[in-house]
């Protein structure tokens, strides 16, 4: 077995064993003790986090990380990987920010010069843009770990309506329009709620709280394809061409638009609990959206317009 293949196989074995001695590896690979010791030194130089324990019961221990064996990429695959990361650069916070930057630097440094040149040209010409937000997401990584472990969290949540304290079971996290969101089951409300992660001011694991198994199995896919609400109302809106374009900026609204000659119509049913949300959204579109039903949304929009007018009197 040549050395390069042996080093790759060593990484795989080390990941599996976590704790081992040079003698064990030498016997497993059929090489001398000195050869294995040189190989382990080479792996350390390459960044494999090995810890040496001295003494009669000593040996090697892989620190709390997993190392992947080398993977071969085509040029197009390498470029795709680079720009997949670039699409996240405008986010103030990422779940694995330090690891992402480290991985990208390693990835870029080992690319052939002609591939680097191609990426350098493209990075100034291609951009996956999201608005840059300055809000800090202090608990983003912590919440992701809770999602993976299916842990209930006790949180302090500070939104426009004030400060509240909740026990939640996070379903997952996702980003939209530069912000990070966490859909979760709220034990206080006994229903699903959406939390903006930068509004979470403290979070800790709640070991005592429990939830039903059926709730524990809910995924992000279930969240984005919710079951039919118990009480609905018909939403009917006429959109100008400009109104269509504004609605298309919101993924959840885009699917509801029927377009004809550039103008559009929204004709769908919505959860009655979301009436105020839709009123705010459609008011923001201004004269490019005319609500025909329900009356509750029309009344809310008129009420909000009166409040705005009073601010300028």
Q: How far apart are CA 168 and CA 164, in angstroms?
A: 12
Tokens at 122, concatenated: 């493209």
Output the pLDDT for position 282. 93
Q: pLDDT (tens digit, 9 = 90+) per residue, 4-13?
A: 788 888 888 8
CATH number at 29 reads 1.10.10.10
> Given 190, 224, 258, which residue is the final one in a domain?
224
> Given 181, 202, 224, which residue is the final one in a domain?
224
> Given 11, 32, 62, which residue is the final one in a domain?
62
- Domain that residue 11 falls in: 3-62
Q: Are residues 215 and 174 in the same domain?
A: yes
Q: Are residues 305 and 248 in the same domain?
A: yes
Q: pLDDT (tens digit, 9 = 90+) per residue, 272-301?
A: 888 998 999 999 999 999 999 999 999 999
Query: How far apart, in Å, are the Cα atoms of 92 and each of 146, 230, 287?
Result: 21, 38, 34
- Mean pLDDT: which of 101-105, 157-161, 192-196 is highest? 192-196
Whether residue 287 lies inside any domain: the answer is: yes
Q: What is the Rg, in whole angstroms, of the alpha carbon atoms belonging to the chain?
A: 27
Tokens at 303, concatenated: 């009420």
Q: Which of 296, 234, 304 is nearest to 266 (CA)?
A: 234
Tokens at 112, concatenated: 């052939």
Whether residue 197 lies inside any domain: the answer is: yes
Q: Are residues 243 and 292 in the same domain?
A: yes
For 74, how many CA atoms within 13 A lie in the half-sphere containing its CB? 3
In this prediction, residue 202 has a pLDDT band, given cuts at 50, 70 and 90, of very high
Output the pLDDT for position 101. 72
Whether residue 241 lies inside any domain: the answer is: yes
Q: What is the mean pLDDT of residues 194-219?
A: 88
Tokens at 183, concatenated: 């859909």
Unique residue bearing structure tokens 């795989």:
12
Q: pLDDT (tens digit, 9 = 90+) per residue, 229-264?
A: 678 899 999 999 999 998 888 767 767 788 878 888
Output the pLDDT for position 67. 58
Question: Do 218 and 147 form a contact (C-beta atoms < 8 A)?
Answer: no
Q: Are residues 237 and 298 in the same domain?
A: yes
Domain count, the chain: 4
């Amino acid at each position: 077995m040549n050395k390069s293949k042996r080093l790759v196989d060593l990484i795989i074995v080390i990941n599996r064993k976590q704790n081992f001695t040079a003698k064990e590896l030498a016997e497993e690979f059929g090489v001398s003790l000195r050869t294995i010791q040189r190989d382990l030194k080479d792996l350390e130089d390459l960044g494999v986090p090995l810890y040496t324990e001295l003494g009669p019961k000593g040996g090697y221990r892989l620190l709390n990380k997993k190392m992947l064996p080398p993977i071969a990429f085509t040029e197009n695959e390498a470029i795709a990987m680079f720009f997949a990361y670039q699409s996240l650069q405008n986010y103030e916070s990422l779940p694995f920010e330090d690891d992402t930057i480290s991985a990208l630097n390693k990835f870029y440094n080992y690319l052939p010069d002609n591939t680097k040149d191609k990426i350098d040209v493209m990075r100034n010409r291609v951009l996956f843009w999201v608005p840059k937000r300055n809000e800090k997401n202090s608990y983003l990584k912590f919440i992701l770990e809770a999602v993976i472990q299916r842990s209930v969290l006790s949180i302090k949540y500070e939104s426009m309506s004030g400060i509240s304290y909740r026990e939640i079971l996070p379903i997952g996290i996702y980003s939209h329009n530069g912000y990070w969101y966490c859909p979760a089951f709220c034990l206080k409300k006994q229903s699903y709620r959406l939390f903006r992660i930068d509004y979470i001011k403290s979070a800790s694991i709640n070991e005592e709280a429990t939830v039903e198994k059926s709730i524990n199995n809910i995924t992000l896919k279930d969240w984005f394809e919710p079951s039919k609400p118990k009480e609905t109302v018909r939403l009917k809106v006429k959109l100008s061409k400009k109104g269509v374009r504004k609605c298309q900026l919101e993924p959840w609204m885009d699917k509801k638009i029927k377009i004809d000659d550039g103008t559009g119509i929204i004709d769908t049913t919505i959860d009655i609990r979301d009436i105020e949300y839709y009123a705010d959204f459609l008011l923001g579109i201004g004269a490019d959206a005319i609500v025909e039903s329900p009356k509750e949304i029309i009344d809310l929009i008129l009420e909000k317009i009166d409040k705005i007018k009073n601010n300028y009197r």
